[in-house]
Amino acid sequence: MAGFAVDDAAGVPDTAAVIQAFDALERRMWSGRAAAYAASFARLCAHPVPALLDAAAVGPGSAVLDVGTGTGAAAAAACARDARVTAVDAEPSMLAEARRNAPAAEVRAATLPELPFADASFDAVVGNFVINHVGRQRAAVAELRRVLRPGGRLALTAWATPAPPGQALLGRAVEAAGVPRPAHLPPPPAALQALGSPDGFTALLTAGGLHDAQCRTLRWDHRTTEEEWWSGPATRVAFLGELLHSQPPAVRTRVRREFGRLAEEFRTADGGLALPHAALLVSARR
């Protein structure tokens, strides 16, 4: 999950070894984490789905590919629009959640940048916060273009940078506790840094052979509770969950204390939290 300051370390040159290390970390971070993700960050990540589907012109009868479906939020929403939906993910626990949440979709295992579909199979392709989890972004976009029919639309989301303070709350807590980035957690490839800016994100699609690329920024306050938000890293979800898991108990306790202190900035009248977030939505056509 982007927007966490510790995870926003400057990228390193994109050698094959760097990309392989990043992809291996992604697989490890998300292995078996679907239920924990569903209970913590899934509702946040589902917020852009209606705008994502609109940007891809998803409607009745559309043949839609939801790549990196996760728990199936975009797939379920596309099915509700009477689209014909295929959803893929690399993580088995996510596939199980997606099949429960989007029973009308065809849910299959697949990993970018290699998809098991013929050329020009879909009218629309969507990916909700998935491209930032792929080491070879250009190859991934080229593959998404390959399975898209001429005139079809691709729409993707990624977290904006710099992150609003509420979006970076967990990362700020880690930094306030003085926790360095462990050596066994490799930094992201340099190319990932461009995804946080509109120009960089649209340039990625244009370089992939797509046309009329456009980007908009989505901003919203995510309503949650301190307990729900902390449950993500506490149950080893995403990068900060992996980082926290690698620390001794005393350090985890210190991070939790800093998190509670910093969370007061976003406290609402009912005792919950309202966390400002910003995401980029980019779309283009083949």
pLDDT at 192 over 60: yes
**Domain residue spans of the chain:** 5-163+185-223+278-285
* Closest listed residue to residue 83, CA positions, set 108, 101, 65: 65
pTM value? 0.94
User: How high is the pLDDT of residue 12?
Assistant: 60
68 close to 112: Cβ distance less than 8 angstroms: yes
pLDDT at 4 (0 to 100):
42
Dump pLDDT digits (tens) for 41-69: 999 999 999 999 999 999 999 999 999 99
User: What is the average pLDDT score of the chain?
Assistant: 94
Four-way CATH pick for 5-163+185-223+278-285: 3.40.50.920, 3.40.190.10, 1.10.287.10, 3.40.50.150 = 3.40.50.150
Smallest CA-to-CA distance from 159 within 219, 238, 83 is with: 219
Q: CB neighbours (10 Å) of residue 100?
A: 13
Amino acid at 189: P
Nearest alpha carbon to residue 206 among 284, 121, 267: 284
| Residues 227-266 as b or e (16 or more Cβ within 10 Å = b) | ebbbbbbbbbbbbbbbbbeebeeeebebbbebbeebbeeb
Answer for the pair 170, 256: CB distance below 8 angstroms, yes or no: no
Average pLDDT over residues 216-231: 98
Across 246-258, average pLDDT? 97
Contacts of 163 (CB under 8 A, 6+ apart): 2, 3, 4, 5, 8, 171, 277, 278
The average pLDDT across 89-108 equals 98
128-152 pLDDT, tens per residue?
A: 999 999 999 999 999 999 999 999 9
Q: What is the pLDDT of residue 193?
A: 83
Q: Kindly state the average pLDDT of the residues 259-267.
A: 98
What is the pLDDT at residue 10?
A: 53
What is the reported pLDDT for 183?
83
The pLDDT confidence band at residue 11, using thresholds 50, 70 and 90, is low
